[in-house]
Chain A
Amino acid sequence: MKLSSKKKPNIINNMTWKIAGEAGFGIAVSGVLFSKICTRGGLFVHSYSEYPSLIRGGHNTFQLTVRDSKVYAPFKTVNFLIALNKESVTKHLFELSEKALIMFDPDENDIATETSSRKDLVLCPVPLAILSKNSGADRLMRNTVAMGASMAILAYDLTILDELFKEVFADKGQEVIDLNIRAAKAGFDYIKEHFDNSSYPYRLEKNEKHSQTQMVLGGNEAIGMGAIKAGVKFYAGYPMTPSSTLLQYMASKQLQYNIVVKHTEDEISAANMAIGAYYAGVRAMTGTAGGGFSLMVESLGLAAITETPMVYVVVQRPGPATGLPTWTDQGDLKFVLHASQGEFPRIVVAPGDTEECFYVTIQAHNLAETYQLPVIILSDKFLAESPKSTYPFDDKNIKIQRGKIATPEQLQAIGIYKRFDLQAKDGVSLRTLPGMKNGIFLANSDEHDEHGFSNEESEMRINMVDKRFKKFIAASAELPEPVLYGPAKADFTIFAWGSTKGPILEAMEILRRENVSVNLLHILYISPFPAKRVNELLEICKTPILIENNMTAQLGSLISEYTGYEIGNKILKYDGRPFFPEELVQRIRAIKNQKGLKKWLA
């Protein structure tokens, strides 16, 4: 490549790197390694990956947005593409920025025709397969070669990668470590000899000023860590993407933390088991996707009527039925809010990032025990499986609140113990655990009296329904209000929930630089619904906008239900992909341009 005469300065630590190819080629592994190389150099990352629901042959991608300040969401525009096959070029050409680079293997793919329309692109042929073979492996190390080559082009420190190989493959032996180091070096050296990177402006540099260690963590693992910190000793689940990595994470920690993890015969069993464990006094949890939760529905009411604490994790994917197993969606909000027959309170919390995943999981267990009711943590594939830089959690000041569990002295003093004592003002009555003397009761899925015995009298029925709802009122008073991100006053106010938080925060920043002021009310606890706060804000905000990763604007309809407002400006997406900051910016700009022509707030 020739140097252009008038060279612009390089773009340092602000780019999106992507690797794409056939499933089964270790694309995800390379992606995670690349993320760690960045964070170990003090940089911040947010990844995103796409893969079909099959094991081999489909198209897989992993992409990573890197900066030297916090990244809230991955960007769609790609600056560096490693195309392990031709399809990767045709599929992702439209995502490439000006002057983006494509690394490809000229011995395997000729991409001249595919890229003919884009003269701005920097083509970087590297004989990945040959270099992989020469370093002693077969073609399978192509991605490692490509990583080494990436490091050379971006002028990043190769030794970080070598160190990482030594740690990550420590248990696989020196041979595997050496093989990886050789393959990466082969790619690195090839670039040094054959490619002039001055035509390509993107660079990565270590951020020496930033010394705090970071993890590269996804939502499921963050929930798992939260559960372990919360004292979950029993986890039951049945594999279903995108919740399976939570089951696997918990399973991998069984011996280290004395947790029993049961892969059950079905989700019905998983939920009923977790309820059984919680009833017996052990913090427990189950996790699934919408399909599995469909099978758990009846158990939700069981936890509610027996007033047994319970925590469900529902990691959404697009439905209905099998739907799009490996893609993302926010289509199950109303489902989890209304699931199960009868009327009873439940707490629903939808974390927006890995940090919230960790902390709300602990809160979920504290709330479940304090109010003796079911809590649902609602996540999605995008949040669960897009690892990002996350500082180790502030886990020193966490309190474990187990609520009203009886002590032997209390039970002795009480005389006749009533598990479902109607005198409890907040509806929360003293709980006992099997084995406690003077604490016998019946946890009954039939409506019951204060001891738990089946009872169908009109008055008792009303009292028991009211008792359960009193707990909900008490919980509402304790739950944190939704946080308003951005300026207190803004031209546009976004209402959103769950994983759209990151892309929205990124979009807000871009718009801020264009002098468009935007703020975001992120509704973390959706049930009980923070109607007062939402209403207040709707009354004073200039132009509300609703953003949801679904088709029917489910939060929007809740807002209407609780406040009477319908937010007319809706930005919705339901193609299985998350929002990217760029598209949110475009769609908010479009609303801005329409303003004045039409009154949007109905």
Chain B
Amino acid sequence: MVSVNDFTSPIFPTWCPGCGDFGIWASIKNALVSMDFEPHNVMMVYGVGCSGNMCSFINAYGFHGLHGRAIPVAEAIKIANHEIPVIVVGGDGDLLGEGLSHFITACRGNPNITVILHDNQVYGLTTGQTAPTSDKGFKSKSTPLGVIEVRLNPLVTAITQGATYVARGFAGDPTYTTKLIVDGIKHEGFSFVNVLQPCVSFNHIHTYPWYRERIYKLEEGNYTPHDSTKAYEKAIEWGDKIPLGLFYEENKDTYQDDLPQIKPLPLVKQNISNIDISELYKEFI
């Protein structure tokens, strides 16, 4: 039996005390333990940010790539070896700023990977500039006059672009977030778990108490997550009341299902020692 310690690296996190990243870190490890994965059978791909710094704190195969580019790396690893779970951890700047086009393309392609987004509405690692998820008017080091663009809504983006599992957790509630991550990993297709993450150093508006006063769980009402229009209506709810939970789920063919090339064997297991290419010459003769 694996335990949380098996997924914990020898390096203690360098996050600010109280940072929401601790809660997400715990949720991910708990999820992996509860699914009975062994560390060597888990693939974690990280963005660059405070969130991505989790790379040094988890014991599993890890790829800490370039800022914004975690999703392409993860998608390709899944294409190369679709037998192992692939999980992306990234920030709002990483996944929705620098890497937005990859995020949208992944939603559309429905690869069987899980993306966990640390939604703190700031750039943490670069010490507090505005993020795509910041509210209009948010004053930060890079936007002292207040940001002009309106907020990018990650859930709406995911739902409208074809993601097949869209959920929102809260770093202050690791038990609940763990469940959303577990279900996301189990889901066949592109699963997206947006986690509201207080940044105690640079976001003094969206604090733990601020969230606690507003959040509620979708399943407490009679919400069913199978209608994209209703999901959209819930996803734009932001202010006095903020819903958590599973907004949308749909079963459809994954990117991997549509690749006959990987049906006989995962690509990584296909023998390449002596490929016969004589057939290739014919069309040029």
Give me the interface of A with B, judged by CB distance under 8 Å: 36, 39-40, 213-217, 221, 225, 228-231, 233-234, 236, 253-260, 262, 264-266, 268-270, 272-277, 279-284, 298-299, 302, 306, 387, 390, 392-393, 395, 400, 433-446, 452-454
Q: Give the tally of cross-chain contacts (CB within 8 A).
A: 188
Contact, CB under 8 Å: B277 / A229: yes
In the assembled complex, the Cα of A445 lies from the Cα of B66 at a distance in Å of 7
Known: A276-B75, A400-B272. 18 other contacts (CB 8 A): A228-B280, A230-B272, A233-B80, A258-B261, A258-B262, A260-B259, A264-B72, A265-B101, A265-B105, A268-B69, A282-B79, A302-B66, A392-B281, A393-B277, A434-B77, A442-B64, A443-B64, A454-B56
Distance of A503 from chain B, by nearest CB (Å): 23
A435 touches B285 (CB 8 A): no
Nearest chain B CB to A278's CB is how many angstroms away?
Answer: 8
Most buried by A among B74, B261, B262, B273: B261
A269 engages B61 (CB within 8 Å) = no
Q: Are B79 and A277 in contact (CB under 8 A)?
A: yes
A-B contact pairs, 27 of them (CB 8 A): A40-B285, A217-B284, A228-B280, A231-B272, A231-B273, A233-B261, A233-B270, A234-B80, A258-B270, A265-B102, A265-B105, A269-B105, A272-B72, A276-B65, A276-B77, A277-B80, A277-B267, A280-B268, A282-B79, A283-B272, A387-B284, A400-B274, A434-B77, A435-B84, A438-B40, A445-B48, A454-B53
Say whether B164 faces chain A, with CB atoms less than 8 Å apart: no
| B residues contacting the other copy or chain, number (CB 8 A) | 55
Main SS class of interface, A: mixed
Residue pair A229, B75 in contact (C-beta under 8 Å):
no
- Determine which of A39, A392, A434, A454 lies in contact with B55 in the assembled complex, contact meaning CB atoms within 8 Å: A454
Distance, CA A293 to CA B278, complexed state (A): 32
Write out the residue numbers on chain B whose beta carbons fall within 8 Å of the beta carbon of A264.
72, 105
Whether A280 contacts B76 by the Cβ 8 Å rule is yes
Do B285 and A214 have beta carbons less than 8 Å apart? Answer: yes
For B260, list chain A residues within 8 Å (CB).
255
The distance in angstroms between the C-alpha atoms of A541 and B60, with both chains bound, is 58
Task: Say yes or no: A225-B64 contact (C-beta < 8 A), given A260-B79, A260-B261, A280-B80.
Answer: no
Q: Are B270 and A215 in contact (CB under 8 A)?
A: no
Measured CB to CB, the closest approach of chain A to B272, in angstroms, equals 3
Known: A215-B281, A435-B83. Contact between A299 and B261, CB under 8 A?
A: no
Distance to closest chain A CB from B110 (angstroms):
14
- For A39, list chain B residues within 8 Å (CB): 285
**Chain B interface (Cβ within 8 Å of chain A)?**
9, 11, 38-41, 43, 45, 48, 53, 55-56, 59-66, 69, 72-77, 79-81, 83-84, 101-102, 104-105, 259-262, 264, 267-268, 270, 272-275, 277-281, 284-285
Residues of A within 8 A of B48 (CB): 445
Query: Nearest Cβ in chain A — how far from B192, in angstroms?
Result: 17
CB-based nearest A residue for B68: A268
Q: How far is the CB of A451 from chain B (nearest CB, A)?
A: 8
CA of A408 to CA of B219, assembled, Å: 46
8 Å CB contact of A266 from B73, B101, B261, B277: B101
- Given A216-B284, A443-B64, A444-B55, is A392 in contact with B278 using a C-beta cutoff of 8 Å? yes
Taking CB atoms, residues of chain B closer than 8 Å to A279 are: 63, 73, 77
Given A215-B285, A299-B66: A442 and B56 interface contact (C-beta under 8 Å): yes
Contact assessment for B268 and A282 in the assembled complex, using a CB-CB cutoff below 8 Å: yes
Given A221-B284, A228-B277, A260-B267: A442 in contact with B261 (beta carbons within 8 A): no
Instruction: Say whether, besides A255-B260, A434-B77, A306 and B285 are in contact (CB < 8 Å).
Output: no
Report the Cα distance A215→B282, complex, angstroms. 8
List of B residues within 8 angstroms of A253 by Cβ: 280
- Please, which residues of chain B bring their CB within 8 A of the CB of A306? 63, 65
A29: shortest Cβ distance to chain B, in Å? 14
Whether A440 contacts B63 by the Cβ 8 Å rule is no
Q: B56 to A233, Cβ gap below 8 A?
A: no
Residues of chain B within 8 A (CB-CB) of A274 are 76
A387–B283 alpha-carbon span in the complex (Å): 13
Q: Once the chains are docked, how many angstroms separate the CA of A39 from the CA of B267? A: 37
Our pick among A260, A298, A443, A453 for the contact of B262 (Cβ within 8 Å) is A260
CA distance A5 to B262 in the complex (A): 71
Q: Which of A265, A298, A439 touches B66 (beta carbons < 8 Å)?
A: A298
**Given A215-B284, A236-B76, A281:B59 Cβ within 8 A:** no
Q: List residues of chain A with CB within 8 A of the CB of B101.
A: 265-266, 269
**Known contacts being A258-B261, A265-B101, is A280 close to B60, with CB within 8 Å?**
no
CB distance from B18 to the nearest CB of A (A): 22
Tell me whether A280 and B284 are in contact in the complex, defined as CB-CB below 8 angstroms, given that A260-B267, A266-B101 are known contacts. no
Given contact pairs A269-B105, A273-B76, A443 touches B40 in the complex (Cβ within 8 A) = no
Residues of B within 8 A of A255 (CB): 260-261
Known: A260-B261, A454-B56. A443 touches B62 (CB 8 A): yes
Neighbour of B62 across the interface among A233, A254, A277, A452, CB < 8 A? A452
Nearest 3 A/B pairs, CB to CB: A231-B272, A276-B76, A215-B284
Tell me the complex Cα distance, A253–B262, Å: 14
A256 to B285, CA, bound (A): 19
Give CA–CA (A545, B108) in the complex, Å: 55
Known A277-B77, A435-B83, A454-B56; judge A440-B39 contact (CB<8 A).
yes
A272 to B74, CA, bound (A): 9
Residue of B nearest to A261 (CB): B261
Nearest residue (CB) in A for B256 is A260
A173 and B113 alpha carbons, distance in the complex (Å): 45
- In the bound assembly, the distance between CA atoms of A254 and B79 in angstroms comes to 14
Write the nearest CB–CB distance from B80 to chain A, whole angstroms: 4
Cα of A438 to Cα of B262 in the assembled complex, Å? 26
Q: Do residues A453 and B65 form an inter-chain contact, with CB atoms below 8 A?
A: no
CB of A91, distance to nearest CB on chain B (Å): 30
Cβ contact within 8 Å between B56 and A282:
no
Which chain B residue shows the least CB distance to A228?
Answer: B277
A454 to B268, CA, bound (A): 28
> Residue on A with the closest CB to B76?
A276
Q: Among B41, B63, B105, B267, point to the contact of A435 (Cβ < 8 A).
A: B41
- A residues near B268, Cβ cutoff 8 Å: 280-282, 433
Residues of chain B within 8 A (CB-CB) of A284 are 76, 80
B136 vs chain A, min Cβ distance (A): 27
A282 and B80 form a contact (CB under 8 A): yes
Q: Chain A residues with Cβ under 8 A from B76's Cβ?
A: 234, 236, 262, 272-277, 280, 284
Of all chain B residues, the one with the shortest Cβ separation from A230 is B272
Q: List the B side residues contacting A387 at CB < 8 Å.
A: 284
- Is B64 a contact of A233 with CB atoms below 8 Å? no
Residues of B within 8 A of A439 (CB): 40
* Interface core residue of A272, A400, A433 (most chain B CB under 10 Å): A272
| Inter-chain contacts of B273 with A (CB < 8 A) | 231, 400
Q: Chain B residues with Cβ under 8 A from A277's Cβ? A: 76-77, 79-80, 267
Interchain CB contact (< 8 A) of A272 among B41, B61, B73, B104: B73
CA gap between A23 and B216 in the complex, in Å: 63
A213 CA to B281 CA, complexed, in Å: 10
Alpha-carbon distance between A213 and B261 when the two chains are bound, in angstroms: 32
Q: Are A440 and B79 CB-contacts (below 8 A) given A229-B275, A265-B102, A454-B53? A: no
CB atoms of B105 and A281 under 8 A apart: no
B127 CB to nearest chain A CB (Å): 17
Given A275-B73, A298-B66; A441-B61 close (CB under 8 Å): yes
In the complex where A273-B73, A435-B83 touch, is A302 in contact with B65 (Cβ < 8 A)?
yes
Given known A-B contacts A216-B284, A440-B40, A225 and B277 have beta carbons under 8 A apart: yes
